[in-house]
């Protein structure tokens, strides 16, 4: 279910609110609450895992942001897309300190830059015809008006005019969740300040929260994830069993090494919060943290040769 623009949501609000409720359990009339205070995330249980780096490869937080008054990618005009790119580029290149970096246009980047971005696994590709954003018209005029920004340390990344106008990503190796969260929140807020100075603002509604091209990402739009190694769990209950455990009992989603519908190579999976709306950003990050703690404990039990099937059933 694509959302072309703000006007379309309000024209067909009853229908969209029904879909959002079915997808997220966020009832019509319910208000979305935002909380970007990373200090509220309780990582005490995660910090007690002295061998965390044995299991945790990296941590990532990403969420969409869109600028009010411009069409979302499914319905934007070529002129609007270029205007959005210009606003995003100005906002991003004004960032300072740890967030300072460079914007790369997909149209004008050099072959060397393109190769480096591919090697870093940063460069987004034109979606295949089975992707939602392709089938709803969101890849028209490709690659015009699209680009990627990243800071010097490659821990802060923004995709411009991909599935949303901005997909803001904070990431780093290891499991320092508060640091990743704080960097993401800082970047989102600093870009918003630049937009505000030009009389612009993010799309936002008390019920929907942050708008997105897809109803699966409205609300916080936030996906907090860790790439962790769980080979022994998969050995006992299979990847399907792990995915079911995460979805049914931990309010989480488990993806394979390469994302959705891929295999867990070497037991490496991508674990993240399941929902995007109805809870604050802090609460969703907490769900991810708590779930990872439980899964690592389960993996350690499986490493000792214990049969974890009863433990899974009891969770």
Instruction: List the domain boundaries for the chain.
Output: 6-314
Q: What is the rounded CA–CA span in Å between residue 280 and residue 222?
A: 9
CB 167 within 8 A of CB 159: yes
pLDDT at 244 over 90: yes
pLDDT at 122: 77
CB 235 within 8 A of CB 223: no
pLDDT tens digits along 163-221: 999 999 999 999 999 999 999 999 999 999 989 999 999 999 999 999 999 998 999 98
For 240, counting Cβ atoms within 10 Å of its Cβ (0-12 exposed, 13-18 middle, 19+ buried), the class is: exposed
Q: What is the rounded CA–CA span in Å between residue 158 and residue 169?
A: 6
pTM as predicted: 0.90
- Domain covering 6-314 in this structure, CATH number: 3.30.590.10
pLDDT at 57 over 90: yes
Q: What is the rounded CA–CA span in Å between residue 311 and residue 315?
A: 6
Residue whose C-alpha is closest to residue 217's, from 274, 161, 271: 274
Strand order in the sheet with 268-273: 101-105, 147-151, 156-160, 166-173, 56-65, 223-229, 268-273, 252-255
In this structure, what token pair is assigned to residue 37?
Answer: 């205070």
Q: Dihedral, CA atoms, 47, 222, 144, 11, nearest 10 degrees? A: 180
Quickly tell me which residue has 């919060």 as its tokens: 273
């Amino acid at each position: 279910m694509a959302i072309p623009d703000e006007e379309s949501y309000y024209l067909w609000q009853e229908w969209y609110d029904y879909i959002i409720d079915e997808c997220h359990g966020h009832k019509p009339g319910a208000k979305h609450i935002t909380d970007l205070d990373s200090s509220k995330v309780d990582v005490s249980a995660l910090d007690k895992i002295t061998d965390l780096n044995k299991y945790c490869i990296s941590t990532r937080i990403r969420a969409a942001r869109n600028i009010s008054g411009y069409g979302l990618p499914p319905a934007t005009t070529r002129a609007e897309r270029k205007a959005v790119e210009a606003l995003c580029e100005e906002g991003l290149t004004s960032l300072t300190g740890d967030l300072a970096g460079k914007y790369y246009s997909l149209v004008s980047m050099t072959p060397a830059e393109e190769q480096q971005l591919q090697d870093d696994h940063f460069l987004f590709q034109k979606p295949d015809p089975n992707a939602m954003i392709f089938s709803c018209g969101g890849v028209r005029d490709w690659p015009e008006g699209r680009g990627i920004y990243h800071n010097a340390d490659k821990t802060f990344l923004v995709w411009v005019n991909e599935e949303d106008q901005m997909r803001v990503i904070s990431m780093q190796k290891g499991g320092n969740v508060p640091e990743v969260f704080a960097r993401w929140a800082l970047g989102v807020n600093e870009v918003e300040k630049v937009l505000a100075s030009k009389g612009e603002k993010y799309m936002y509604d008390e019920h929907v929260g942050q708008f997105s091209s897809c109803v699966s990402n409205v609300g916080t739009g936030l996906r907090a994830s860790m790439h962790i190694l769980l080979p022994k769990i998969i050995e006992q209950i299979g990847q399907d069993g792990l995915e079911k455990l995460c979805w049914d009992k931990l309010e989480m989603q488990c993806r394979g090494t390469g994302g959705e519908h891929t295999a867990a190579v070497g037991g490496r999976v991508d674990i993240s919060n399941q929902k995007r709306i109805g809870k604050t950003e802090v609460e969703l990050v907490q769900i991810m943290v708590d779930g990872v703690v439980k899964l690592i404990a389960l993996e350690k039990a499986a490493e000792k040769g214990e049969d974890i099937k009863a433990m899974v059933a009891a969770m």
